[in-house]
């Protein structure tokens, strides 16, 4: 029987556990707070930010909502980040990407105080992750580690294949999988758009993480019998639905589930975990900034 890994349930259990840590911080006089900065009118970005704020409120994290006109000068965004860096009542800062073309996204990530960088994208935090001393693990790959663990799969000594090498998913995922630490110790291959014989690589995977952003590119024939398949992709494809589209992953779910030992669905797999791990990092940041010991799930 193929195990369907329920990201909603795992995320809920992490949120439940975080509430106890948040209560502890509140008792110590430090309610965690997350500032979200949106410099965009893109409806998808607006939706992501409002979901993140709802998530915060649900567990007792204060959500600070900052909107910047997308036509404003880049300096306005940098000034806002500087104010948030200096504000002791702000524990986490998230600038929703993408920012407008006239703003350089790498400079934005560098402007955020690394102690408040709950996305884990500041070069200091990326460096710490690579060095095996992560402060804030990026939310999507960290959530995937939790999903793999929840399925009772031990990564140690396994062949892991990550399809995709982006800074936010593929690279940090591969880095976590090779760490000499729980959830790591896998022999890891990273594939990308120039990889030759992709199917040969993916068929070798005991653990396959698909993060290419190409609808249903990995089918059952590209998967090893019994593999753990984590589908990160969220792709809109035209469909005869009320909205005119549906969401599919990078994995062709129906054929993959016949072969996989465990698999995440889309939606309801990785997505909820990404959101839960943002709360996790915000709680961790609050503890670190105020030297309060918080038990993290």
Report the nearest approach of ligand NDP to the CB of residue 146 (Å).
13
Q: Consult the annotation and say whether 255 binds a ligand.
A: no
- Position with the least CB separation from ligand NDP: 166
Distance of alpha carbon 187 from alpha carbon 205, whole angstroms: 10
Chain residues 145-164 in contact with ligand NDP, contact rule CB under 6 A: 163-164
Distance of alpha carbon 136 from alpha carbon 153, whole angstroms: 23
In this structure, are residues 143 and 271 in contact, taking their beta carbons and an 8 Å threshold?
Answer: no
Q: Consult the annotation and say whether 230 binds a ligand.
A: no
Does 187 interact with ligand NDP (rule: CB under 6 A)? no
* Residue with Cβ nearer ligand NDP (30 or 96): 96
Out of 32, 138, 233, 287, point to the residue binding ligand NDP (CB under 6 A).
233
Say if residue 11 is preceded by a cis peptide, omega within 30 of 0. no
Does 170 interact with ligand NDP (rule: CB under 6 A)? yes
Catalytic annotation present for 96: yes
Does 190 interact with ligand NDP (rule: CB under 6 A)? no
HSE-CB of 128 using CA atoms within 13 angstroms: 14
Given 30, 96, 145, 179, which residue is catalytic?
96
Chain residues 235-264 in contact with ligand NDP, contact rule CB under 6 A: 235
| Cβ within 8 Å of residue 147, ≥6 positions away | 5, 7, 10, 230, 264, 269, 270, 273
* Residue with Cβ nearer ligand NDP (101 or 133): 101
CA pseudo-torsion sign 198, 200, 202, 205: negative
Distance of alpha carbon 132 from alpha carbon 176, whole angstroms: 8
In this structure, are residues 261 and 223 in contact, taking their beta carbons and an 8 Å threshold?
Answer: no
Task: Return the C-alpha torsion angle 267, 268, 273, 278, nearest 10.
Answer: 60
Does 14 interact with ligand NDP (rule: CB under 6 A)? no
For residue 34, give the DSSP letter: E
Chain residues 79-138 in contact with ligand NDP, contact rule CB under 6 A: none
Out of 60, 100, 184, 213, point to the residue binding ligand NDP (CB under 6 A).
213
Report the nearest approach of ligand NDP to the CB of residue 190 (Å).
9
Catalytic annotation present for 55: no
Does 274 interact with ligand NDP (rule: CB under 6 A)? yes
What is the pairing mode between strands 228-231 and 207-210? Answer: parallel
Catalytic annotation present for 180: no
Report the nearest approach of ligand NDP to the CB of residue 186 (Å).
19
* Residue with Cβ nearer ligand NDP (170 or 183): 170
| Cβ within 8 Å of residue 63, ≥6 positions away | 33, 34, 36, 52, 53, 56, 57
Does 178 interact with ligand NDP (rule: CB under 6 A)? no
- Binding residues for ligand NDP, rule: CB under 6 A, are 140, 163-166, 168-170, 191-195, 198, 211-214, 217, 232-235, 270-271, 274
Binding site residue list: 164-166, 234
Catalytic residue ranges:
52, 96, 119
């Amino acid at each position: 029987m193929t195990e369907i890994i329920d990201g909603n349930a795992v995320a809920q259990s992490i949120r439940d556990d975080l509430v106890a840590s948040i209560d502890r911080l509140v008792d110590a006089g430090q309610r965690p707070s997350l500032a979200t900065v949106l410099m965009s009118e893109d409806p998808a970005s607006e939706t992501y930010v409002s979901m993140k704020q709802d998530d915060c409120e649900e567990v007792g994290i204060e959500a600070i909502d900052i909107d910047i006109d997308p036509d404003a000068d880049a300096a306005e965004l940098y000034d806002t980040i500087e104010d948030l860096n200096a504000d002791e009542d702000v524990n986490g800062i998230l600038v929703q990407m993408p920012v407008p073309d006239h703003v350089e996204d790498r400079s934005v990530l560098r402007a955020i105080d690394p102690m408040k960088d709950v996305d884990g994208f500041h070069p200091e935090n990326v460096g710490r992750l690579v060095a095996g001393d992560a402060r804030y693990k990026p939310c999507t790959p960290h959530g995937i580690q939790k999903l793999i663990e929840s399925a009772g799969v031990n990564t140690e000594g396994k062949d892991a294949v990550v399809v995709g090498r982006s800074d936010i998913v593929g690279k940090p995922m591969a880095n976590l999988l090779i760490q000499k630490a729980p959830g790591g110790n896998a022999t890891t291959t990273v594939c990308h758009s120039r990889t030759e014989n992709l199917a040969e690589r993916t068929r070798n995977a005991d653990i396959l993480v698909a993060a290419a952003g190409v609808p249903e590119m990995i089918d059952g024939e590209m998967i090893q019998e019994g593999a753990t398949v984590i589908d990160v992709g969220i792709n809109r494809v035209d469909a005869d639905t009320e909205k005119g589209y549906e969401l599919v992953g990078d994995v062709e779910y129906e054929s993959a589930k016949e072969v996989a030992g465990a698999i995440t669905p889309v939606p309801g797999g990785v997505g909820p975990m990404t959101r839960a791990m943002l709360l996790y990092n915000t709680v961790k940041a609050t503890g670190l900034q105020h030297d309060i010991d918080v038990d993290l799930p």
